[in-house]
Chains A and B, each alone.
Chain A
Amino acid sequence: MKLLLNGAPIDAQVATLADLLLAEGFGDAKVATAVNGAFVPAPARPDHALSPGDAVEVLAPMQGG
């Protein structure tokens, strides 16, 4: 299934958002997620089914002012 991950096109054979994070190397990383502009809380990731064309954002702590 073709997806956008942090703005980059990828082809991933996954069913859910949790599957995608595991497949893309995030594992137990401290991240927050959004799909198509909507926040998806961590507990909801295993049940959040992805569809072709979904835009997934994976954000992590970063420097800020």
Chain B
Amino acid sequence: MTEFYGTTLPNGLMLGTAQYPSPAILADAFKRSGAGVATVSLRRESGQDRAGQDFWQLIHQLGVHILPNTAGCHSVKEAVTTAHMAREVFDTRWIKLEVIGEEDTLQPDVFGLVEAARILSEDGFQVFPYTTEDLVVADRLLHAGCEVLMPWGAPIGSGLGLNNVFGLRAMRAHFPDVPLVIDAGLGLPSHAAAAMEMGFDAVLLNTAVAKAGDPAAMAEAFASAIRAGQLAHAADPMGPRDMAAPSTPVIGKAFLE
């Protein structure tokens, strides 16, 4: 099993905690999928309703690894400060580092991402960078101290699946020993299966589960697809070919014309 900063996960699913119809459905999605990682964020708290405290109790009871994010951060300073605040609140060195560079696609600002990753890695964080499939950026992130890379499948929340299969295959081939996680853009379990068949180590998703008609069932479907994809990759799939090749033996066929 792949290790993420020395941690082995129960399966290849990292699951977000936003947009569920209710806390009970969120908890059920984790239970039925067996996801071992929950992504969370930090937001402004009110001294009156203290909503964050109830959420923390819920997440704590899931008994999974917590992966705080820096979602919504558009600068290095903002992301680094948020990461420090998250480390204190969640008591973890893990940080899902997002530095957003473009509003319509939520594409990462890869220049800021590399700089923030270096600052945080030097400060003892274990960085999970939300990046693109760009190989040069990936290499810079590794040199900055990242031991995991998280390329996007498609824009966050789009459900489009794996937009650049060629680029993702190249990334897997270039970094065979680096844990790679497809983060964002998946819409269907088949997208997750395809990622795992390509040899990715995990997928991270939220909207595809939370916005399904039955989120818990969809979470379980994703877990099944991830398992199928992992098995298929390990089983060494056949290569595609352009021409037909009969599977039934030709030798011995009767001549009946």
Residues of A within 8 A of B (CB): 6-7, 21, 24-26, 29-34, 37-39, 41-42, 57-65
Contact = CB atoms under 8 A, between A and B. Distances in A.
Interface string B71-97: 100000100010011101110000000
Contact of B89 (A6, A38, A60): A60
Interface string B29-63: 00000000001111111111011110110010000
Contact of B156 (A38, A42, A65): A65
A55 to B, nearest CB: 12
A39 B55 contact: no
Interface of B: 16-20, 39-48, 50-53, 55-56, 59, 68-69, 71, 77, 81, 84-86, 88-90, 156-157, 184, 205-207
Given A29-B53, A64-B18, A58 B89 contact: no
A42 B103 CA distance: 33
B45 A26 contact: yes
B41 A62 contact: yes
Contacts of B156: 65
A21 B47 CA distance: 8
A44 to B, nearest CB: 11
